[in-house]
């Protein structure tokens, strides 16, 4: 079986599972996200920390802290989430030797932990939760697919050969175009993205921004691996490598959504109050804009 066939087989198995868990939501979704975050953290740990300095009890402590965080989302305001994850990141990074390992591990815990929180908060919104998750998943998946197709067909100049030798400008812009097309198609023919106050123009702007962010997340993970002399973050997914290799774009998008919400919460409190007053049931938007659920 060729590498492409292995990749397609893994995708056909994993994609329905992801969709089923996302549609089901609730406790199952929280467990699923926690499991994925735990594996991603383990892979990140293996990349940034020398193997002889890996400590099981530290890793278990991080996952345990993240699980408490994950299941107490209803009582955690936005600013509190940042403080909590910052404290966990700082505390466990202090056990490492050298500033590089401390900085790398601390940022990884903060980055992956908050991305996981963002996904949980999105899905827990009773009104538009499934729509938000669908939007994020579709943008990331269409960006990956478009980048691969356009890059293979058109080829052309390399985007950043010192970090990711296979990525091209045609793949970068093709990914954005394909993501925009897929968002337009879903919005036009699938009711799941059609809710009050959300129009096509806003959808395309969001898609454009998140498609770029997804690709930056991919490049960032490629840079991290290359800097540490690693080809794949793991081997748990046949044909794809590790969880970080497969979900680097989704992690970046989820983290970016949370950062954007935090920016709105601290910079435009009047907008937050107006938005909550107009859409009182949109719990996730309230979380992003006001800082609490």
On the question of pLDDT at 1 being above 70, the answer is: no
Q: Which residues contact 51 (CB under 8 A, 6 or more apart)?
A: none
Tell me the per-residue pLDDT of 124-137, one tens digit each, with 9 for 90 and over.
Answer: 776 677 877 888 88
On the question of pLDDT at 266 being above 90, the answer is: no
Domains of the chain, residue spans: 3-290
Q: What pLDDT band is residue 181 in, cutting at 50, 70 and 90?
A: very high
The answer to whether the CB of 33 falls within 8 A of the CB of 120 is yes
Residue 187: how many CB atoms within 10 A of its CB?
A: 21
Question: Residue 237 — left, alpha, or beta (φ > 0 → left; ψ -120 to 50 → alpha)?
Answer: beta
Q: How far apart are CA 201 and CA 154, in angstroms?
A: 29
On the question of pLDDT at 25 being above 80, the answer is: yes
* Backbone φ and ψ of 157, nearest 5°: -60, 145
3-state secondary structure of 167: strand
- Between 98 and 205, the more confident residue is 205
Tell me the per-residue pLDDT of 123-180, one tens digit each, with 9 for 90 and over.
Answer: 877 667 787 788 888 899 899 889 988 988 988 899 888 888 888 999 999 999 999 9
User: If you average pLDDT over each of 51-55, 188-192, 269-273, 275-279, which comes out highest?
Assistant: 188-192
Q: How far apart are CA 170 and CA 155, in angstroms?
A: 6
Q: What pLDDT band is residue 290 in, cutting at 50, 70 and 90?
A: very low
3-state secondary structure of 165: strand
3-state secondary structure of 44: helix
């Amino acid at each position: 079986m060729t590498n492409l066939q292995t990749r397609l087989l893994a995708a056909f198995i994993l994609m329905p599972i992801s969709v089923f868990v996302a549609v089901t939501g609730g406790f199952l979704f929280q467990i699923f996200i926690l499991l994925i975050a735990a594996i991603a953290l383990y892979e990140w740990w293996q990349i940034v920390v020398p193997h002889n300095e890996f400590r099981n009890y530290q890793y278990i402590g991080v996952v345990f802290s993240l699980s408490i965080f994950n299941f107490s989302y209803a009582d955690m305001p936005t600013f509190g989430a940042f403080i909590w994850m910052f404290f966990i990141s700082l505390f466990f990074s202090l056990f490492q030797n050298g500033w590089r390992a401390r900085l790398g591990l601390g940022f990884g815990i903060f980055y992956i932990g908050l991305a996981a929180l963002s996904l949980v908060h999105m899905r827990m919104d009773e009104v538009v939760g499934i729509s938000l998750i669908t939007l994020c998943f579709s943008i990331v998946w269409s960006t990956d697919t478009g980048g691969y197709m356009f890059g293979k067909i058109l080829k052309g100049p390399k985007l950043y050969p010192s970090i990711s030798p296979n990525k091209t400008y045609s793949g970068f812009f093709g990914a954005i175009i394909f993501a925009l097309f897929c968002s337009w198609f879903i919005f036009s023919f699938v009711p799941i993205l059609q809710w009050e106050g959300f129009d096509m123009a806003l959808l395309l702007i969001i898609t454009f921004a998140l498609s770029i962010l997804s690709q930056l997340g991919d490049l960032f993970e490629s840079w991290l691996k290359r800097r540490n002399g690693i080809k794949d973050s793991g081997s748990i997914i046949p044909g794809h490598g590790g969880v970080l290799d497969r979900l680097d774009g989704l992690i970046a998008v989820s983290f970016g959504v949370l950062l954007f919400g935090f920016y709105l919460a601290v910079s435009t409190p009047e907008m937050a109050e107006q938005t909550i007053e107009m859409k009182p049931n949109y719990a996730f938007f309230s979380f992003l804009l006001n800082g609490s659920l």
